[in-house]
């Protein structure tokens, strides 16, 4: 008789099951000159067969081998033959029913991910891979979010036609606008901007794009299919599983050579379909159930991964470590981190610290979920309320800072401080000076792939372009001088727009692609961002977990400011920032000392261009001023 989902979940959380079936060893397929081994955790299966193929698509079956049941629910098969390059899947029999499944732990696959692939990973390493090391961490992370497909898709990007929208486009370091040689694009643009970290939107194998289909298909990719395999639609050849692996490694190695660290956007909160290898090999173990026995849906994507289950936690930790070790990723951004339980996130942090050194690998994520979720065990989730109970080095996106600056992402016409709304001064000041959590945990931002771009959000509240651009600079200055990591969407630095679309996850590239021509129209904004980034690095110690000094703040209606004593390695003893959201100028009376203008909304980061002779500075309407004491 087929077991019901809730009965299975009760079985899985029983002490008897855990005593018999929990396993802490290696899983997946492994090959070398001594042979090939396969290990699959399928605790409730009665029989399992390994099926081998010559190709990863529709090729005929080469052979079928019955696997041996071992301890802890692990099925094994070993052959002295090196099967590198062969494809495989499993046939499992349970309660008299049979079904086919890919390998949940596979590290390579055929086109569209249905067949797993045996791979000798040493054969996928680019020339010089063994010498690849991450650039040294800087005092502040300046993180630039980009999508492999949309970043260099346009002809104006200057990328070679055959590599646009692929991994290879991120290995070209000399691209310019329309190939004219005047304005840098792509990787050279990122480097010139001063960015020191790139966050790649999902590059694991996702199911929402047909890898055999047209090249202009688009999806953000938050639809996991094979967690430990790179996405094939970004590769030059999705039919041969080794190609995508080597090309992604080439991207990371190239960015490292350019002085840029690389963060991977991971989605361990749900899978594209509940009919996944995880479900087929251990039904309902890896997914949450509501009280009626239906799939929990706190992700709003149809299912929730049960990170609180021991073998699920092992799977996630193993996966993160694999990407960090094999691909040299420098950190991880967790999608809907609020669906992951605290113990799992702490285990990830500990595993990375133990392997690479404390804090070497960056972790941050979204401390929220899309809806209610149902846990098999009573363990806190990673929400804003529980951040303080997490291990050191787990950061989170601050939606309070984001919405306080530009207005709610859900209420399109609602403004924030930068676009004219008063009453938010205290909230933003607290975000700057009241460190309820350590500054290193905070990710300050106003735009990402989700919701409106900054330009489109401000257009909702401010039709006048001239005023909107002043608000744009004020918004940038607000979050770039907030505590923690600095994060922004690719193209924000030259007023990226998606034609007003606030949820472009599957819309055409005509909407989603980065429009590099904007660099001509908004070159002034690019220069402003470049200056702000440079300045943020100069005052990197403005916020420290131990405190660089007392942050003193003040606020009035439509205006607020703060002062921080800097550390000795900063050019200024004290830094003051004044933000003016009013539609008229504001006069700021200088404290005692010798002060100079560091930056403002007109000239951007001018550093110590001149000493302020008067005892006051004028802060223009919808602008800011930063001053420093020598």
Domains of the chain: 5-106 (2.60.40.10), 140-542 (3.20.20.80), 552-629 (2.60.40.1180)
**Tokens in use for 467?**
């005023």
Of 21-25, 214-218, 384-388, minimum mean pLDDT range: 384-388
Among the listed residues 151, 197, 226, the one whose alpha carbon sits nearest the alpha carbon of residue 331: 197
Helix (H) or strand (E) holding 471: helix 465-480
Other CB atoms within a 10 A radius of the CB of residue 372 amount to 10
| pLDDT at residue 8, as a whole number | 95
| pLDDT at residue 552, as a whole number | 80
Helix (H) or strand (E) holding 167: none
| pLDDT at residue 482, as a whole number | 86
| pLDDT at residue 563, as a whole number | 87
| pLDDT at residue 608, as a whole number | 55
Residue 299: is its pLDDT beyond 80? yes
Split at pLDDT 50, 70, 90, the class of 391 is very high
**Tokens in use for 156?**
């104006």
Of 105-114, 318-327, 476-485, minimum mean pLDDT range: 476-485
Residue 183: is its pLDDT beyond 70? yes
| pLDDT at residue 333, as a whole number | 98
CB 139 within 8 A of CB 235: no
Residue 434: is its pLDDT beyond 60? no
Split at pLDDT 50, 70, 90, the class of 429 is confident
* Residue 357, SS3 per DSSP: coil
Residue 294: is its pLDDT beyond 80? yes
Of residues 483 and 170, the one with the higher pLDDT is 170
Split at pLDDT 50, 70, 90, the class of 571 is confident
Among the listed residues 471, 446, 436, 424, the one whose alpha carbon sits nearest the alpha carbon of residue 551: 436
Once rounded to an integer, what is the mean pLDDT over residues 416-425? Answer: 96
| pLDDT at residue 410, as a whole number | 96
| pLDDT at residue 405, as a whole number | 97
| pLDDT at residue 377, as a whole number | 86
Angle between helices 310-327 and 241-257 (to 10 degrees): 60
Angle between helices 310-327 and 342-356 (to 10 degrees): 30
**Tokens in use for 478?**
């607000």
Rounded (5°) CA angle 263-427-525: 55
The catalytic residues are: 335, 366
Share of the chain above pLDDT 90, in %: 86
Residue 435: is its pLDDT beyond 60? no
**Residue keyed to tokens 């990863």:** 56
Share of the chain above pLDDT 70, in %: 96
Residue 1: is its pLDDT beyond 60? no
| pLDDT at residue 542, as a whole number | 63
The pLDDT tens digits of the residues spanning 491-508 come to: 999 999 999 999 999 999
The pLDDT tens digits of the residues spanning 223-247 come to: 999 999 999 999 999 999 999 999 9
**Residue 464 exposed, middle or buried by CB count within 10 Å (0-12, 13-18, 19+):** exposed
Once rounded to an integer, what is the mean pLDDT over residues 187-199? Answer: 98
Alpha-carbon distance 506 to 220, whole Å? 7
The pLDDT tens digits of the residues spanning 347-377 come to: 999 999 999 999 999 999 999 999 999 998 8
Alpha-carbon distance 144 to 191, whole Å? 11
Of residues 434 and 255, the one with the higher pLDDT is 255
| pLDDT at residue 157, as a whole number | 98
pTM of the predicted structure, to 2 decimals: 0.96
Residue 539: is its pLDDT beyond 90? no
| pLDDT at residue 548, as a whole number | 47
């Amino acid at each position: 008789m087929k077991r019901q989902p809730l009965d299975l979940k009760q079985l899985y959380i029983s002490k008897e099951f855990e005593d018999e079936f929990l396993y802490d060893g290696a899983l997946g397929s492994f090959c070398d000159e001594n042979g090939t081994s396969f290990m699959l955790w399928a605790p409730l299966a009665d029989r399992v067969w390994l099926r081998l193929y010559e190709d990863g698509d529709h090729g005929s079956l080469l052979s079928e081998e019955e696997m041996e049941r071992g301890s802890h629910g692990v099925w094994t098969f070993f052959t002295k033959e090196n099967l590198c390059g062969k494809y495989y899947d499993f046939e499992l029999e349970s309660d008299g029913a049979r079904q086919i499944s890919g390998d949940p732990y596979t590290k390579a696959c055929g086109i569209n991910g249905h067949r797993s692939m045996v791979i000798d990973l040493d054969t996928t390493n680019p020339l010089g891979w063994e010498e690849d090391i991450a650039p040294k961490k800087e005092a502040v992370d300046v993180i630039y979010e980009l999508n492999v497909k949309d970043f260099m898709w346009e002809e104006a990007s200057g990328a070679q036609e055959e590599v646009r929208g692929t991994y290879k486009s991120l290995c070209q370091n000399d691209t310019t606008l329309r190939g004219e040689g005047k304005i840098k694009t792509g990787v050279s643009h990122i480097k010139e901007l001063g960015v020191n970290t790139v966050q790649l939107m999902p590059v694991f194998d996702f199911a929402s794009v047909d890898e055999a289909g047209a090249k202009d298909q688009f999806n953000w990719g938050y639809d996991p299919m094979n967690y430990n395999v790179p996405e094939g639609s970004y590769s030059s050849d999705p039919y041969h599983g080794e190609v995508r692996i080597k090309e992604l490694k080439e991207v990371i190695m190239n960015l490292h050579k350019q002085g840029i660290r690389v963060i991977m956007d991971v989605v361990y909160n749900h899978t594209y379909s509940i009919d996944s290898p995880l479900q087929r090999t251990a039904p309902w173990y890896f997914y949450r159930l509501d009280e009626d026995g239906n799939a929990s849906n706190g992700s709003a994507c149809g299912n929730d991964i049960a990170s609180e289950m021991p073998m699920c936690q092992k799977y996630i930790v193993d996966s993160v470590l694999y990407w960090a070790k094999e691909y040299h990723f420098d950190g991880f951004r967790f999608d809907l981190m609020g669906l992951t339980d605290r113990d799992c996130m702490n285990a990830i942090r500990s595993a990375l610290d133990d392997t690479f050194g404390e804090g070497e690998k960056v972790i941050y994520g979204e401390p929220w979920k899309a809806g209610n979720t149902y846990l098999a065990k009573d363990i806190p989730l990673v929400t804003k309320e529980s951040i303080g109970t997490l291990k050191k080095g787990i950061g989170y996106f601050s939606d309070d800072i984001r919405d306080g600056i530009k207005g709610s992402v859900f209420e399109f016409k609602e403004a924030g401080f930068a676009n004219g709304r008063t009453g938010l001064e205290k909230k933003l000041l607290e975000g700057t000076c009241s460190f309820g959590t350590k500054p290193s945990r905070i990710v300050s931002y106003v735009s990402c792939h989700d919701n409106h771009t900054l330009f489109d959000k401000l257009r909702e509240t401010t039709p006048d372009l001239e005023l909107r651009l002043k608000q744009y600079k004020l918004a940038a200055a607000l979050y770039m001088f907030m505590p923690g990591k600095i994060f922004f969407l690719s193209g924000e630095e030259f007023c990226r727009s998606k034609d007003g679309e606030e949820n472009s996850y599957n819309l055409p590239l005509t909407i989603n692609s980065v429009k590099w021509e904007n660099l001509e129209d908004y070159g002034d904004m690019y220069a402003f961002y470049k200056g702000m980034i440079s300045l943020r690095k100069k005052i990197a110690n403005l916020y420290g977990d131990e405190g660089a000094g007392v942050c003193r703040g003040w606020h009035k209606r439509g205006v607020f400011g703060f002062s921080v004593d800097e550390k000795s390695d900063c050019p200024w003893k004290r830094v003051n920032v004044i933000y003016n959201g009013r539609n008229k100028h504001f006069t700021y009376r200088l404290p005692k000392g010798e002060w100079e203008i560091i930056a403002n909304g007109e000239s951007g980061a001018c550093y110590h261009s001149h000493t302020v002779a008067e005892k006051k500075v004028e802060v223009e309407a919808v602008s800011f001023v930063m001053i420093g004491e020598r």
